[in-house]
Structure 1
Amino acid sequence: MGTNWSSRLLAAATVAPLIRWLVAADSVPSGTGRRATCDACGAPFGLDGPLRTLSPLARCGACRQRIGAPPLTVELALVAVAVVLILADRSALETVAFAWWALCAVPLLFVDLAVHRLPDRLTYAAAGGTVVLLGLAALVGGTGTADDPAPGGGAWLRALLAGAAVASLFVASTLLLGRRGFGLGDAKLVLSSAAVLGWLGWPMVAFGLMVAFAAAALTSVVLLATHRVQWSGHLPFGPFLILGSVVALALT
């Protein structure tokens, strides 16, 4: 168990600069190309740039202005996800599938908080990679936990149906309600989030969505009560979808 903890926490720390780069590059308005330079001084940043830019300090190597997500937040999110995956104690391929989803979900969370959008490149990567890896887990089988056998093809079909069904409901809300419904980005994100929940079981689909809606409602009430937003304001729903899926995974 000690090796398991240390290796996965080390992996989380190793990918943190990549996730920070994704957040900084994609936290731009819709229709705008990826950010490649510091907004304050124009200095380039990226995976091949100054390490300080993509470190937990999140500061431009030239002018020291913050770039991307606040300091330490990405790192803490990755550590939290790693802990959840360790405690879930799933089979190797299941863990890889959930880890892939998480590596796409963490930057999506920060981008949605920053600019209220969910980039297609990340939502599609999350959906495609998660479905394929869960399919491999179903094909190979093995031990999902110490007590229960890993789900097979039935669980994979359930994951597909859950993702498609919930995404369809989100799209329908967009078509019927317009701006008052869910965004298409939310529908694309829920393809993978609901697939993760569906793999865990139909009760977890309901539970994960319930957590997401309850957290969103509570946050809205708090923000309205503290006058941080108006009734006409928009609250990004992507972070709550991710939260619901992580909580469900942590409790399985």
Structure 2
Amino acid sequence: MPRTASRPSSPATTTPTAGARLGAAIAVLTVAPLLRWLVAAESVPPDRPRRAGCDACGTPIGPTGPLAALSPLARCPGCRSRYGAPPFAVELALLLAVAALLAAARPGWESLAFAWWTACAVPLVFVDVAVHRLPDRLTRAAALGTLALLGLAALVGADGAAWWRAVLAGTSAALLLGASTLLLGRRGFGLGDAKLALSSVAVLGWLGWPAVFTGLVVTFLASAVVGLVLLAARRIRWRGHLPFGPFLVLGTIVTLAAA
């Protein structure tokens, strides 16, 4: 994939340093409990409030609850029942995403923008798989934070064209997916998918139009392959619903790492 002009050619921005790797490891250890809490809190049907405690015994989860409630073991410290994402799954997903960010080795504000998007995208993947929904508070945070930080990157790097391209790409993708919902109903994409596309495709747009094409190809190809495998295994039916958010995140991260 061609590199965009916004990426400096300095060796310092193309090879992660030992300090960058250490900082990434510390970030994973610090952020993972917060993301695990978001997954547990948001993995509820649309008509129910956020989960505030263990479904079995009511032990609080989150910042006000015991720290053990946010451990990678995914067990309630009160009754030892399972809840939220599978054990170590959030941590592994976050580690892989951070590895992709290190491979991309983007400078300054760009790295911060992509890190913010990643922190929002990881819990969205687990929530979508669990309950087939993408909460507005996370998709909104992903879009606003990512576009704002990319705007700062454009100001610092004097590359306003990259920011406008990101806005155009993300907005266009969101409108197209949203239109499919209005026109096709349940057979189209969900509005949550459209809201997630706003930030995900904006990230691709910042990298360049070839990245938008590559990311969307990876997204739809992965979705098709997994769908066919699940159909062959009789895990879903032709009219079944396959969450699209995880594939959109996967396509974006893979393209970001390869850019």
- For 1:193, the aligned partner's letter is S
Confirm whether residue 177 of structure 1 aligns to residue 193 of structure 2. no
Distance 1:60 1:25 in 2: 13
Specify the alignment match of 1:33 in structure 2. 49
Specify the alignment match of 1:97 in structure 2. 113
1:205 to 208, 212, 223: 212
Aligned residues: 243
Deviation at 1:83, TM superposition (A): 1.0
- For 1:240, the aligned partner's letter is F
Unaligned 5+ segments in structure 2 are 1-16
Matches of residues 11-160 of structure 1 in structure 2 within 5 Å?
11-141=27-157, 152-160=159-167
Deviation at 1:48, TM superposition (A): 2.5
Matches of residues 212-231 of structure 1 in structure 2 within 5 Å?
212-231=219-238
- For 2:44, the aligned partner's letter is V
Q: What are the Cα deviations for residues 183-222 of structure 1, in whole angstroms up to 9, with x where unaligned?
A: 0000000000010000000111111011110001000100
Distance 2:225 2:57 in 1: 39
1:7 to 10, 17, 23: 23
Q: Are the equivalent residues in 2 in contact too, given 1:13–1:78 (CA < 8 A)?
A: no
Specify the alignment match of 1:233 in structure 2. 240
Distance 1:201 1:162 in 2: 9
Runs of 4+ in 1 over 4 A off after TM superposition: none
Specify the alignment match of 1:145 in structure 2. none
With normalisation by structure 2, the TM-score equals: 0.92
Q: Are the equivalent residues in 2 in contact too, given 1:20–1:107 (CA < 8 A)?
A: yes
Which secondary structure state, in structure 1, belongs to the residue aligned with residue 250 of structure 2?
helix
Unaligned 5+ segments in structure 1 are 142-150
Deviation at 1:176, TM superposition (A): 1.2
Q: Are the equivalent residues in 1 in contact too, given 2:59–2:65 (CA < 8 A)?
A: no
Q: Are the equivalent residues in 2 in contact too, given 1:119–1:185 (CA < 8 A)?
A: yes
Q: Are the equivalent residues in 2 in contact too, given 1:139–1:152 (CA < 8 A)?
A: yes
Percent sequence identity over aligned pairs: 64
Distance 2:169 2:61 in 1: 39
- For 1:57, the aligned partner's letter is L
Deviation at 1:41, TM superposition (A): 1.7
Distance 2:238 2:101 in 1: 37
Q: What are the Cα deviations for residues 118-141 of structure 1, in whole angstroms up to 9, with x where unaligned?
A: 000000000000000000000001
